[in-house]
Structure 1
């Protein structure tokens, strides 16, 4: 079995555990905030109610204590009593006002009205007769300090509760959810073989949702592996068929290319001599004359004809005539240049298109061929045979417009006719004898 692909395990920085704890802490914080606010409001109301009740009790007690001194106009005692009352931590200011609205005694300091304080006004009565009233100002600072202490204690208590719940939830999530999920993740990490089959098996260690999920995954993995094997088998078979078809098509394409090349060669060459045939010669001639016209070059055409070839066929037979034609084709390849186009026009007539060649150079090549043919002796079953050729040369001058292909050919043919007329076995130039096609 192929070694499984191993993938580095990557634990998410913000996983399920962190998300659940964040949600839980957010909910708890919101709930505790609302609960704490409500508790603080209730405590504040209770504290202020208690402070007001205490202030009212103090006011009544002091007012009763001052009644005899007020009725006796004992200002000194009144002042001493008020001084003793304002000496406590809560009372900031006290004043006794008579029945006529006059101030009989006053102690303490009147503070800024903006500062929060508890104000009490208690009537001074003796035997049902009003004698005046007592004004008493209690400081709110003790009450505020008490409320602040209760707020701090409440916040500390809520923070401890939230921390304990978060820790407990963290441990519970780690044991119940995160650990099984991480065990499954680690079991799946990179457990694929080289063919893509799943080789991992999830541990079925519990009967909860994780256990059900692991069992279903294992069954699904088995089904996928079987389907994967069937698919790979089909792909392999199809791939082999495709390769076989491709090999067959390659062979057929190569054969077709070979046949096309052979057909092209047959269509442009002479079967007996291997030289170009007349149709291809005419195409090349048209192209060469167009190039001469464009670039101002000279080209020459040499027409060759075997002297008395019919007599050879009649005397020695067509096999001997074919041997002579092949021999002449061989001499043409030897005497002319590789850039020259050699063709068999038909029967015993041949041609050589000499590109970028002056009349003098073409005459030299034709004369060289004539001499080589005259020296060649053909060995036939009937005996040795010597032949001669006649040749005509026509050249496209560099300073004149290009001739039509048929006119150019007729000039070379007319020069060949002059060679025949002059007794054969010679080379004649159309330019030297001012030969013109009709």
Structure 2
């Protein structure tokens, strides 16, 4: 009887181990799969960039962590409808959007956040020191203005309007206010070929969900495109 007990005890322990391990492993795999699906859902399928919600979450982390060294940037592609309506059609437009995403990601660096907010509108949040800000914004406008090669090998001319906002100038790390000011600054410099850094007065521009009132895609109901 004693020998039987010695044989059964390890077997019972093994059985307990497997009956415990298998469900835990299953839940771990399920959790990882769910996490990957949620992460993918927060990404723009065309460019791979963060969507609006994902960008907002990551940008808040950056502004809260880096304070005055944080920079929030909004980018609109100029005359993008002409590209979509041109000889290359929407395929050329998609190539321009993807190239813009690649350029913004390279400019922001591995610790920055880049999102596609919709259409040809992009946003960036990154740590950029105050002494390098002007130089880096000038670099960004040159980078975005480089022609893009499309599927048939042709080069498409592109241009972008850029507005930026920083906590040290505006006296706040509130992302909503920074986006509002960056949006107003971007439209103040529309089609000029230069980036505009928001001043305090840009925070007073009425907005809907961080977008300038009257901008295409906004309405008095508070919906944003």
> TM-score, normalised to structure 1's length?
0.41
Once the 2 structures are TM-superposed, how far is the Cα of residue 238 of structure 1 from its aligned partner?
3.3
Task: Name the CA distance, whole Å, in 1 between partners of 2:16 and 2:85.
Answer: 61
CA-atom RMSD, angstroms? 3.0
SS of corresponding position for 1:380: coil
- Is 1:413 equivalent to 2:183 in the alignment? yes
Find 1:333's aligned residue among 105, 115, 134: 105
**Is the Cα contact below 8 Å between 1:278 and 1:344 reproduced in 2?**
yes
Task: Name the CA distance, whole Å, in 2 between partners of 1:287 and 1:244.
Answer: 41
**Is the Cα contact below 8 Å between 1:332 and 1:342 reproduced in 2?**
yes
- Is 1:426 equivalent to 2:169 in the alignment? no
2:219 — aligned with what?
none
**Is the Cα contact below 8 Å between 1:345 and 1:351 reproduced in 2?**
yes
Q: Judging changes above 3 Å, is the alpha-carbon distance between structure 1 residues 374 and 247 closer, same or farther for their aligned structure 2 residues?
A: same
Task: Name the CA distance, whole Å, in 1 between partners of 2:106 and 2:61.
Answer: 25
Once the 2 structures are TM-superposed, how far is the Cα of residue 403 of structure 1 from its aligned partner?
5.7
Q: 1:129-157, CA deviations, whole angstroms, 9 ceiling, x for partnerless residues?
A: xxxxxxxxxxxxxxxxxxxxxxxxxxxxx
1:435 — aligned with what?
202
Task: Name the CA distance, whole Å, in 2 between partners of 1:401 and 1:379.
Answer: 43
Q: Judging changes above 3 Å, is the alpha-carbon distance between structure 1 residues 402 and 326 closer, same or farther for their aligned structure 2 residues?
A: same
1:367 — aligned with what?
138
2:116 — aligned with what?
344
Larger RCO of the pair (alpha carbons < 8 Å, separation 6+) = 2
Once the 2 structures are TM-superposed, how far is the Cα of residue 411 of structure 1 from its aligned partner?
0.9
Task: Name the CA distance, whole Å, in 2 between partners of 1:244 and 1:279.
Answer: 41
Q: 1:350-388, CA deviations, whole angstroms, 9 ceiling, x for partnerless residues?
A: 111133532x63332232122123234323137332322
**Is the Cα contact below 8 Å between 2:145 and 2:157 reproduced in 1?**
yes
Structure 1 unaligned blocks of 5 or more: 1-226
**Is the Cα contact below 8 Å between 2:72 and 2:126 reproduced in 1?**
yes
Question: For residues 291-306 of structure 1, what are the structure 2 equivalents within 5 Å?
Answer: 297-306=68-77
Question: For residues 184-195 of structure 1, what are the structure 2 equivalents within 5 Å?
Answer: none
**Is the Cα contact below 8 Å between 1:302 and 1:351 reproduced in 2?**
yes
Task: Name the CA distance, whole Å, in 2 between partners of 1:312 and 1:241.
Answer: 65
> TM-score, normalised to structure 2's length?
0.73
Question: For residues 7-406 of structure 1, what are the structure 2 equivalents within 5 Å?
Answer: 227-290=1-64, 297-315=68-86, 316-355=88-127, 357-358=129-130, 361-381=132-152, 383-397=154-168, 401-402=171-172, 404-406=174-176
Structure 2 unaligned blocks of 5 or more: 207-225
